[in-house]
Structure 1
Amino acid sequence: MRILFVSYMHPAVTPGGAQQVADELRRAAIASGHEAYMIAALEADQESDFGKPGAPIVPMPGEENQYFYFPQHYNFTHNSVGEWRSLKFFRDLVAEIAPDVVHFHHYHRIGVESIRAARLAVPNAKIGVTFHEMMAICLAGGQMVRTTSRDLCRKATPIDCHGCFPHLRPEFFTLRAARLQALFDECDFFFFPSAFIAQRYREWGLDPAKCHVIPNGQVHPAPAVDRSRHSRLLNRFGFFGQFIDNKGIDVMLDAILVLARERRLPENGLEITINGGNRHYASEDYLAKVDALIAEIRALDDNLVRIHDLGRYGRDELAERMTMVDWVIAPSTWWEVFGLVVSEAWMFGRPVIVSDIAGLGERVKNGVNGFTFPARNSSALADLIEKLTGDEAAWRRAHQAITPDWSDLDMFDAHVTVWDATAQIPASHPAPAPDDRAPDSSDFHAKRRSGKKH
């Protein structure tokens, strides 16, 4: 099978969950004996480093069958590419590759018109999208967080959206949704990493018969990694992920200050490690708030809280950084769709402490395979940090309850199962009814062990 993956960004250029999943699917496809290609749409300001003047698409340096795409005149409001020449180059390259499957991982920067361009280029191919966020539903960066109050939004209606963007009339949002839905209708399937986001998109208007929930997988570390090690004091807490507004670093730091002000810090103190990249995507107000919280904590005269801001990290550094902490905190303040950091923590046997929201709450069962607290509630997080510090029994229970997460090969096999099923359905017949339950990865483990090929 020849498969083309189309991604927003590339992990070799900028870290991020969507591009990581797309690239690991590509690698898994190759490992499974298929022919795989990648087109990664980069940001406009990256063209000077990775592109060539006048060339919308260029080969990725040093790589085979991978390309960087620089669509021109991108419109963030409409997720739209406004230049026909960029789309023509994209369409011509897709036609030249002639894939059996075109799998989009995002539409931001790529442009929703690229779906139509792919359909024109390879009319008999199977085409689909994995939704890693809610940008089609929500104009506020797909976060579904109100721009005025920062409250969580539970449903996008024209009236509510007008409240966030008063310069746009309610009917604008009706027309925007209709246009996007019409372009998505070119697809044969839609993939979602959690039941939460699948339900949001079905409520928004996507065809339920095309919707499939497949959890994100990833490459697992070598067996030599000792997943059971922890510090003697069990007082090391770590944040991993994007250093942006809705990831909740401020909630974690607020919780530490609650403990400090109420003199509830443990006798041996706390070690707090921040592993976060892409600070340039955070707002100035958020960065100022986080920096002020860190400065206030560091100004404490008892030295009971030691903060280490280690910055961004690559995949090759993940094992080392995970071994530096006992617990991983994911204090997201938005509707976290999946939470790849949970998979990364579990991969190294680290119990997680997460906001009980959306995909995070869907995956982490409080007191079983991790611990949860109400989203945005720094006081509740403070209570949890105090309770878990030094509690080896709780650490062991959560550690032992962590089940093997999906590998990249499991994830790929699950996609192939859907591609094969849709390939057997005549265009005049409906697809099978969707199943909100994530497939059991053990089925794909067993199939791969048996040597079954697709």
Structure 2
Amino acid sequence: MRICIITNFFPPITIGGAEMVCHQTALGLKKAGHEVYVIVGHPHITKKDAPQKDYEIDGINVHRIYPKIPFNFLPMSYNQLFNNSVEKLINPLVRALNPDIIHYHNISGLTLSAIRGGRTADKPSVMTLHDYWMLCPNNMLFTNNTSPCNNFVGKIYCHNCFHKYDFWGNVPFRQRIIKKEVERDIDRFIAPSRFMADRLVEGGYDENVIRVIYHGMDIDTYRKNIRPLSEIVSEMCSVAINPAVALEILESSDFLVQFAGHLTIHKGGEYLIKALHQLHKDGEKFTLAITGSAHPHELSRLKDMVNKFDIKDNVIFLGKIPSSLLPSLYARADAVIVPSIWYENASVVVAEAMIAGTPVIASDIGGNPEFVKDGYNGFTFKPKDESDLALKIRTLMNDKPLINTLRKNARIRADQLFNMDRHVKLIMSCYEESIAAHLRG
């Protein structure tokens, strides 16, 4: 089958887990013998920093478009749902590629014009849902930097949005425009979690056109990348951290906790710091390794908390590291903590930790409980409850045999949920449904 993927971001430029998942899916489809082409906008990246117009990565042909008006410069109004230059760029590319199906991934930065660009080619289309863009002006269903939104249907004004870059006054009108556009042209939606599918139905979408398909990962390659920390630490540490010091801290830890991801308030890092403070007061020994890029304010806030609670000797900030090195760090950890306070859809950190065979302790919110089976491959805890989180961490600290059992179960569950061959079969089934539905009109 000839497949055209249209997305915001694609390697070598990656912003988050959604782009990595898109790349993994493209590789899985290619490995299964399908022709895969990618159209990418990198809408928040300048032309100077982005790849040139066409390039190839991992044997996949990527067509880079440069919208006349970048997303960041669109007025904060109705126009942020449409960008005519995107439509004019995508349309001839889709016509030239002549795919059997179009697969949209994270396209909010390309706007609905990305879908319009593929429309006149009259091809069946599917869309993978990485966030809540179709329901919420800030993509996240997260309000006032503190709480997940549980009343988004029919809400007229969202003045407390986490981000306001996609905000404009009449939210129900915005939702109706998006719904009209996507329902007209998207034959099937792929939700990476049941939670996401349920929110879409709650927002008025037809459950009969939604398929829950968990992410597919190249598990074998991922596990082959697991190496001793001594082999990777020089590549892993930022210039602010001495590699030898980092290696000694990580290797000598009695109990190594890993927190990974872009450091923003919705990731809940403060509750992990508070939980570890409780454990520190009780004399527990541990090391927390924090990896990932960071919002400057959040990084400063967490460092201030670490100093305030006198646990600076227990915490190491590794900064952003190459994704290829994460498997080794996850595998060394005794637990990976995902303390999110927003509705996680299908956390890539959870998936990668499970593949590496590491117990996950995750907040019981969004899609997390679908992947972390409490007491089997990790634990869940009440969001924003540092005492509950501390209790779950302490349970592992005091039971090394339990850690080994959870490690084994994590690998088993990862093989069940994220197997790429299974993922591709489900994706192909969804494609075939979409083609049939498109022919029926």
TM-score when scaled to structure 2?
0.84
Q: 1:259 aligns with which of 252, 268, 279?
A: 279
Measure the CA separation in 2 of the matches of 1:81 and 1:159: 18
SS in 2 for 1:344: helix
Deviation at 1:82, TM superposition (A): 4.8
Query: In the alignment, what sits opposite 2:426?
Result: 414
CA offsets, 1:325-349, max 9 Å, x none? Answer: 1111111110000111111011111
Matches within 5 A, 1:421-436: 421-425=433-437, 427-428=439-440
Q: CA deviation at 1:194?
A: 0.4
Partner of 1:24: 24
In structure 2, the CA distance between the partners of 1:367 and 1:78, relative to structure 1 (3 Å rule), is farther
Distance 1:226 1:43, change over 3 A: closer
Aligned residues: 406
Q: Aligned equivalents of 1:200 and 1:178: distance in 2?
A: 16
1:278-427 matched pairs, under 5 angstroms: 279=294, 282=295, 284-297=296-309, 299-300=310-311, 305-402=313-410, 403=412, 404=415, 405-425=417-437, 427=439
- What per-residue deviation string (whole Å, max 9, x for no partner) do you get for residues 418-454 of structure 1? 112332346447xxxxxxxxxxxxxxxxxxxxxxxxx
Question: Does the alignment pair 1:96 with 2:96?
Answer: yes
Output the CA distance in 2 between the equivalents of 1:380 and 1:9. Answer: 37
Is there any run of 5+ residues in structure 2 with no aligned partner, and where? 230-249
How far apart, in 2, do the equivalents of 1:416 and 1:255 lie? Answer: 44
**Residue 257 of structure 2 is aligned to residue 237 of structure 1:** yes
1:50–1:384 Cα change, 3 Å: same
Moved over 6 A (4+): 167-171, 229-233
Q: Give a deviation string over 1:70-102, Cα, whole Å, max 9, x none.
A: 332534665846543332111111111111111
Q: Distance in 2 between matches of 1:16 and 1:274?
A: 16
Query: Within 5 Å, which residues of 2 pair with 1:166-177?
Result: 172-177=170-175
Cα distance in 2, alignment partners of residues 151 and 84 from structure 1: 35
How far is 1:311 from its partner? 1.5
CA distance in 2, matches of 1:64, 1:11: 11
Deviations 1:298-350 (A, max 9, x none): x45xx8x5212112222321222223311111111100001111110111110
Unaligned runs of 5+ in 1: 53-57, 430-454
State whether residues 39 and 62 of structure 2, in contact with CA within 8 Å, keep that contact through their aligned partners in structure 1.
yes
By percentage of residues, which structure has more helix?
2
Q: Return closer, same or farther for 1:37/1:373 CA change in 2, 3 Å cut-off.
A: same
TM-score for the superposition, normalised by structure 1: 0.82
Measure, in 1, the Cα distance between the counterparts of 2:264 and 2:278: 22
**Greater CA drift, 65-74 or 110-119:** 65-74
User: In structure 2, the residue corresponding to 1:376 is in which secondary structure?
Assistant: coil
Q: Does 1:152 align with 2:160?
A: no
Other-structure match for 1:435: none
- Comparing 331-340 with 406-415, which one deviates more in the overlay? 406-415
Select 2:55's aligned residue among 34, 54, 60.
60
What residue in structure 1 maps to residue 112 of structure 2? 112
1:250 paired residue among 266, 270, 275: 270
Contact 2:225 2:328 in 1 (8 A): no
Q: Is the 8 A contact 1:112 1:180 kept in 2?
A: yes
- 1:8 maps to what in 2? 8
Contact 2:7 2:40 in 1 (8 A): yes
Taking a change above 3 Å as real, the CA distance of residues 143 and 132 of structure 1, as seen in their structure-2 partners, is same
Partners of 1:73 and 1:81 within 8 A in 2: no
Specify whether residues 85 and 213 from structure 1 end up closer, same or farther in structure 2 by C-alpha distance, changes over 3 A only. same
Secondary structure at the aligned position of 2:367 is classed as helix
Q: How far off is 1:242 after superposition?
A: 2.0
* CA distance in 1: counterparts of 2:422 and 2:331, whole angstroms: 26
Q: CA-atom RMSD, angstroms?
A: 2.9
In structure 2, the residue matched to 1:204 is: 203
CA distance in 2, matches of 1:379, 1:160: 37
1:444 is matched with: none
* Mapped contact 2:279–2:390 kept (Cα < 8 A): yes
- The structural deviation recorded for 1:296 is 2.9
CA contact (8 A) 1:87 1:117 kept: yes
Cα 1:160/1:11, change in 2 over 3 Å: same
